[in-house]
Amino acid sequence: MFSNKYFLYPESKTFEHKFNTDDGQLWYGKGTYKIKKKKLFLSFGDSEKEIKDENRITKIYDPINKTDTLLVEIIDKKLNSASGHIKFKEEYFYGDFENGTVEIPKSKFENIENPIVETFIQGSLINIELTRISELSVLKITAFDIYNNYHFESNFERILTFSSDELKTKDFYNTTNKRKVKFIMEK
């Protein structure tokens, strides 16, 4: 009913923790780790910052070289694709198949001071206000995982003891002593 996984990355000595509860919550943590004497020392960093930095809307303005077309780049980092569409006043603008860039003639926004466009990505609608439309040249929408609501594990340390590949700790989200939790090496 739940999934609790630590992903250890030996080359960078970093880890990710993803814990899905049986009631639909998603806990996420990220940081650095070290192993000493059958103990795994996890130092959780600012896990929220990492995801919020991935989810962003960037507006690039060029007041000198004004164009009559707005370029929209939609990048879905969760699916590792550049695709999507923009909707404005019941009209849809789709990206090309090669790079996912959407081109919208700025004439569509005439007589509207700050138009609001809508995009649909990862199962969620996002409204974006376009300010200074005459100078706006590129709109970049980057999404890592906007659909999920996270509980972030940040800025603390956790120590897990283990024997062979089996965790031996009571600090494992109230799992019972009868339930075995093991490390599994994946490639």
The CA distance from 51 to 146, in Å, is: 9
Per-residue pLDDT for 169 more than 90?
no
Whether the CA torsion 145, 150, 153, 155 is positive or negative: it is positive
181 neighbors 173 (Cβ within 8 angstroms): no
Q: What is the pTM (predicted TM-score) of this model? A: 0.52
Report the range out of 52-61, 66-75, 81-90, 173-182 with the highest average pLDDT.
Answer: 66-75
More confident residue, 177 or 98: 98
> Residue 62: pLDDT band by 50, 70, 90 thresholds?
very high
Which of 3-17, 38-52, 118-132, 140-154 comes out lowest in average pLDDT? 140-154
More confident residue, 62 or 98: 62
Sorted by where each starts, the structural domains of the chain and their CATH numbers stand as 3-50+149-167 (no CATH), 56-143 (2.60.40)
Identify which of 141, 97, 96, 143 has the alpha carbon closest to the alpha carbon of residue 118.
141
Per-residue pLDDT for 181 more than 60?
no
> Residue 5: pLDDT band by 50, 70, 90 thresholds?
confident
Q: Indicate the SS3 state at residue 54.
A: helix
Question: 129-163: per-residue pLDDT in tens?
Answer: 999 999 999 998 877 665 556 677 888 898 888 77
Within the chain, residue ranges assigned H as helices are 47-54
Q: State which amino acid sits at residue 30.
A: K
Which of 123-132, 147-156, 174-183 comes out lowest in average pLDDT? 174-183
